[in-house]
Structure 1
Amino acid sequence: MSPIIFYFDDLSQPCRAIEIFLLMNDIPHDKKKIKLAKGAQYSDEFVKINPFKKVPVIDDNGFILTESVAILRYLCRQYNVQDHWYPNNSKLRARVDEYLEWQHIGTRAPCALYVWDKVFTPLLTGVGTNERRLNNSFKRMEDSCNCINDIWLKDGKKFLTSYSISIADLLGVTELEELKLTGYDPKEGRPALAAWMERVRNATNPHYDKVHSRLNNLSKKYSTKAKL
Structure 2
Amino acid sequence: MAGEKALKVYLDLMSQPCRAVLIFLKTNKIPHTVETVALRKAQHKTPEFTKMNPMQKVPVMQHNGFVLTESDAILKYLATNFNVPEHWYPRHPERRAKVDEYTAWHHMNTRLDASRVFIYEVLMPRMTGQPTEPAKLEKALKELEKTLEKLESMFLRRQAFLCGDDITLADLLAICEVMQPLGAGRDVLKDRPRLQCWRSRVQSALKCSFDEAHNVLYRLRDKATAKL
- Report deviation, 1:24: 1.3
Q: Is 1:22 paired with 2:30?
A: no
Write the letter of the residue equivalent to 2:203. R
Structure-1 residue corresponding to 2:41: 38
The whole-number CA distance in structure 1 between the counterparts of 2:44 and 2:169 is: 25
Q: Is 1:208 paired with 2:206?
A: no
TM-score, normalised with respect to structure 2: 0.94
Q: Let me know the Cα RMSD of the aligned residues.
A: 1.6
1:134 to 129, 137, 141: 137
Q: 5+ residue gaps in structure 1?
A: none
| Structure 1 segments of 4+ aligned residues over 6 angstroms from their partners | none
Q: Secondary structure at the match of 1:180?
A: helix
Write the letter of the residue equivalent to 1:176. V
TM-score, normalised with respect to structure 1: 0.94
The whole-number CA distance in structure 1 between the counterparts of 2:9 and 2:86 is: 23
- Report deviation, 1:28: 0.8
The whole-number CA distance in structure 2 between the counterparts of 1:95 and 1:164 is: 12
Identical positions, percent: 38
1:52 to 49, 52, 55: 55
The whole-number CA distance in structure 1 between the counterparts of 2:144 and 2:176 is: 14
Structure-1 residue corresponding to 2:182: 180
Aligned residues: 225
The whole-number CA distance in structure 1 between the counterparts of 2:136 and 2:24 is: 35
Structure-2 residue corresponding to 1:219: 221
Kept in 2: contact 1:146–1:190 (CA 8 A): no
Q: Which string of whole-angstrom CA distances, capped at 9 and with x for unpartnered residues, describes residues 8-37 of structure 1?
A: 001110110111111111111000000001
Indicate the larger mover: 140-149 or 60-69: 140-149
Structure-1 residue corresponding to 2:64: 61
Structure-2 residue corresponding to 1:86: 89
**Per the alignment, do residues 223 and 59 of structure 1 end up closer, same or farther by CA in structure 2, a change over 3 Å counting?**
farther
- Report deviation, 1:223: 5.2
Kept in 1: contact 2:184–2:220 (CA 8 A): no
Q: Secondary structure at the match of 1:18?
A: helix
Q: 5+ residue gaps in structure 2?
A: none
**Per the alignment, do residues 94 and 225 of structure 1 end up closer, same or farther by CA in structure 2, a change over 3 Å counting?**
farther
